[in-house]
């Protein structure tokens, strides 16, 4: 009974995530020095991230894992990918950085016993341009410009090749994937149809390539927390805009005891459009937040708290203090 591949996630108790994305950097910058300037390339931004200093701060936070955005809808990514560049007609460094930042972070976290997970949309970026407004990268993948649409078989084949390249490269260094965008209108007749050549099963195969024990989840949307949706997931996606939800059946969210309870929210200040994802500052009372994390982890659930990290690898100071308070309660 149970899923031993998720034992480490339960034992980690809580971790942190980052929306470290090209279109977030300037929006959440605390000052001009943190901004991505017009004179700089994407490589310039990624090269300035201090992985060793970052890992020290993560250890101070008490986090047992990091969930890092590899990329999202703008088409910029934190790591090289030859399949992505070939399909999109790009040169190395144009949208995928030459530096492999996740690899550097995984290596820096390893001495602390902290595991790395990666976030990625289940489909190609829907708003990725070569020149402003042309959607050339999105179109190269045969995907729907400007929206989360239902992917064709060609689109799935291309994007899963990109996922597989990263999965193979990271091997045992990558503990898990958190896949976004498995919304009902996206999966109906596409991923959920096993008669298709590309579906949930082939996506899971690409995600576990290079590490059969790697855990994965598919996110169907906000507040759809306490459920499993496919035969391929290992833990619940758990996205929520507010603390408060706690495990109702202990560690597992399914009767087969296959899906680890996982809940995922943010620390950043709330705004109407972005909620608090990736934002600086704090949104929740520290005492109430700490009490909630303790309640979830006492019931063998796992919590992920989204925090702002700047281009230099520095965690938002207010959020780091909240995390240290959680550490004092949870870790003792």
CA 131 centroid distance within chain: 27
Domain 4-330 indexed as CATH 3.20.20.80: yes
| Domain spans in the chain, listed from the N-terminal domain onward | 4-330
Q: What would the pLDDT profile of 267-318 be if each residue is shown by its tens digit?
A: 999 999 899 999 999 999 999 999 999 999 999 999 999 999 999 999 999 9
Quick check: 1 pLDDT over 90? no
3-state secondary structure of 260: strand
CA-based nearest residue to 206, from 173, 161, 150, 170: 161
Q: Are 112 and 124 in contact (CB under 8 A)?
A: no
- Token pair listed for 91: 């040169």
Quick check: 109 pLDDT over 90? yes
Beta bridge partner(s), residue 121 = 180
Q: What would the pLDDT profile of 83-107 be if each residue is shown by its tens digit?
A: 999 999 999 999 999 999 999 999 9
Q: What is the pLDDT of residue 223?
A: 80
């Amino acid at each position: 009974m149970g899923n031993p591949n998720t034992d480490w996630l339960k034992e980690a108790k809580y971790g942190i995530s980052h929306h470290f994305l090209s279109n977030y950097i300037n929006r959440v910058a605390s000052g001009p020095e943190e901004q991505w300037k017009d004179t700089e390339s994407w490589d310039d931004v990624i090269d300035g991230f201090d992985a060793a200093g970052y890992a020290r701060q993560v250890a101070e936070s008490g986090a047992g894992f990091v969930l890092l955005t590899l990329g999202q809808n703008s088409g910029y990514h934190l790591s090289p990918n030859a399949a992505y560049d070939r399909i999109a007609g790009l040169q190395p460094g144009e949208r995928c950085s030459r530096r492999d930042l996740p690899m550097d972070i995984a290596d820096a976290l390893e001495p602390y016993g902290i595991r790395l997970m990666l976030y990625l949309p289940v489909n190609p970026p829907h708003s990725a341009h070569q020149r402003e407004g042309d959607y050339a990268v999105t179109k190269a993948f045969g995907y729907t410009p400007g929206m989360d649409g239902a992917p064709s078989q060609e689109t799935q084949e291309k994007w899963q090749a990109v996922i597989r390249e990263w999965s193979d490269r990271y091997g045992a260094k990558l503990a898990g994937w958190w896949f976004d965008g498995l919304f009902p209108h996206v999966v109906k007749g596409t991923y959920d149809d096993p008669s298709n050549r590309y579906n949930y099963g082939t996506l899971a195969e690409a995600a576990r390539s290079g590490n059969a024990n790697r855990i994965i989840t598919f996110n169907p949307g906000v507040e759809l927390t306490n459920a499993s949706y496919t035969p391929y997931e290992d833990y619940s996606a758990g996205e929520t805009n507010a603390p408060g939800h706690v495990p109702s059946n202990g560690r597992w969210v399914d009767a087969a005891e296959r899906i680890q309870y996982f809940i995922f929210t943010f620390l950043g200040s709330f705004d109407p459009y972005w909620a608090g994802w990736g934002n600086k500052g704090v949104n929740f009372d520290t005492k109430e937040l700490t009490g909630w994390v303790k309640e979830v982890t006492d019931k063998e659930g796992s919590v992920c708290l989204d925090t702002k990290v700047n281009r230099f690898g520095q965690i938002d100071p207010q959020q780091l203090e909240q995390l240290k308070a959680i550490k004092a309660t949870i870790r003792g």
